[in-house]
Structure 1
Amino acid sequence: MSATDPDCLFCKIVAGEIPATVVASDERTVTFMDINPATRGHALVVPRTHARDLLEIDPDDLAAVAQAGQRLAKVAKDTLGADGINLINSCGADAWQTVFHFHLHVIPRYAGDPLKLPWVPGPGDMDKIAATGAELKEHYA
């Protein structure tokens, strides 16, 4: 397992080579808004070190991602008024993994929202994604 994969989309986001709406980052993780959101506030938490999936991630990085996901879930509930949160990881193509860099989806849920899992990713409104990301970032203390 290498620290980065030059062909990996998420490694490029972590490195700042591809723009993203970053909500938070620390020494082990980066949290950014999903550009194909399932609901308002849908974000991803990734380890800075490249790991293909759940089976390859370093246990300390996995713990850091889980803690960042929990923190974001609390912020989404308090800031966006989410009624619940889904934390989802897909390990392998047959489990809906499409980007092969470990990531945790933090998906706020709202009473009556129409989301059925798995959702079919589709482009979101970039202005709304950026505004929601800014709102989350402001409250991510």
Structure 2
Amino acid sequence: MNKMTAFIASKWWPNNKGHVLVVPNRHFENIFDLPADYAAEIHRVAQLTAFAMKNTYGCDGISTRQHNEPAGNQDVWHYHLHVYPDM
């Protein structure tokens, strides 16, 4: 069974040519609910995505972003990790 799905995000921000969301296929609200095996798999998929972006875009670097709870700017109540190419 696949634990993760990665897809190109439909929302684009200024100065960003697009990014990928890595999402667990099971529901976890945020990092506090996320089991360690899922955390490891999310970062494995993020690393593979980072290599693909670097090879495809020739970007100078990669950034990741993840928000938790209202004070941490969480506005989607399903854990996900953003992977951004830095150009």
Q: TM-score, normalised by structure 1?
A: 0.57
Counterpart for residue 36 of structure 1: 11
Q: Deviations over 1:20-61 (max 9, x none)?
A: xxxxxx711000111112311311001111000000011111
Counterpart for residue 25 of structure 2: 48
How many residues get paired? 85
Say whether residues 1:84 and 2:61 are aligned partners.
yes
Larger relative strand fraction: 2
Moved over 3 A (4+): none
Q: Give me the identity figure in percent.
A: 31
2:59 is paired with a residue whose SS is coil
2:28 is paired with a residue whose SS is coil
Quote how far apart the aligned CAs of 1:92 are.
1.2
Distance of 2:7 and 2:71 partners within structure 1: 24
Higher relative contact order (CA 8 A, sep 6+): 2
8 Å CA contact retained: 1:41, 1:80: no
Q: TM-score, normalised by structure 2?
A: 0.90
Larger Rg: 1
